Amino acid sequence: MPNWGGGAKCGACEKTVYHAEEIQCNGRSFHKTCFHCMACRKALDSTTVAAHESEIYCKVCYGRRYGPKGIGYGQGAGCLSTDTGEHLGLQFQQSPKPARSATTSNPSKFTAKFGESEKCPRCGKSVYAAEKVMGGGKPWHKTCFRCAICGKSLESTNVTDKDGELYCKVCYAKNFGPTGIGFGGLTHQVEKKE
């Protein structure tokens, strides 16, 4: 059937797509407003789209639905993804878990092989490699890597440590730096020695 005067049909809403609002992907046309991930509805562009047959997805949802499954196939370097995608309406075939005998689970063998995870000095919880930031010779969570006084997020350029706590340079200078006239501490009085 001929297409009189209109453009191609949108792959999502099936309405006419005119050239001014057209995005092409995988040989199909879409409205700019219809170019969304079919699972999570996130807006897509040419760098974030992954197509499978007639469906379009963001790269994360595409990986969850069509990517490799199992231990070691996380969503980034050094992570184990336990997200099943159920909140996005994705369903996966789960392989049955092998039965473990009670005699083989020995916690001391586990810690000897993998080591005990380091603890964050601020919250006391385990710090894993994907979220570890080093400061003052200790591992910290990225969210715990903040000034102990003002709560400002810290970086390697503005962090100082004292007695196992982290401080921004401003708070460190105010609380532990030199005081007296000429050091910005005008509220402190300096005793005169006679």
* Token pair in block for residue 150: 């003002």
Domains and CATH numbers, the chain: 7-71 (2.10.110.10), 130-174 (2.10.110.10)
So what's the pLDDT on residue 104? Answer: 45
Residue 157 exposed, middle or buried by CB count within 10 Å (0-12, 13-18, 19+):
exposed
Q: Check the CA dihedral 146-147-149-151 and report its sign.
A: negative
In sequence order, the β-bridge partners of residue 115 are none
| CB of 150 closer than 8 Å to CB of 168 | yes
Cα-flanking dihedrals φ and ψ of residue 37, to 5°? -65, 135
pTM, two decimals, is 0.36
Long-range CB contacts for residues 11-17, cutoff 8 Å, separation at least 24: 11/54, 11/56, 12/36
- Residue 9's identity, in one-letter code, is K
Summarize pLDDT for 83-130 with one digit per residue, the tens. 566 665 655 555 455 555 444 444 445 444 555 678 898 898 988 888
Q: Which residue has the higher pLDDT, 69 or 39?
A: 39
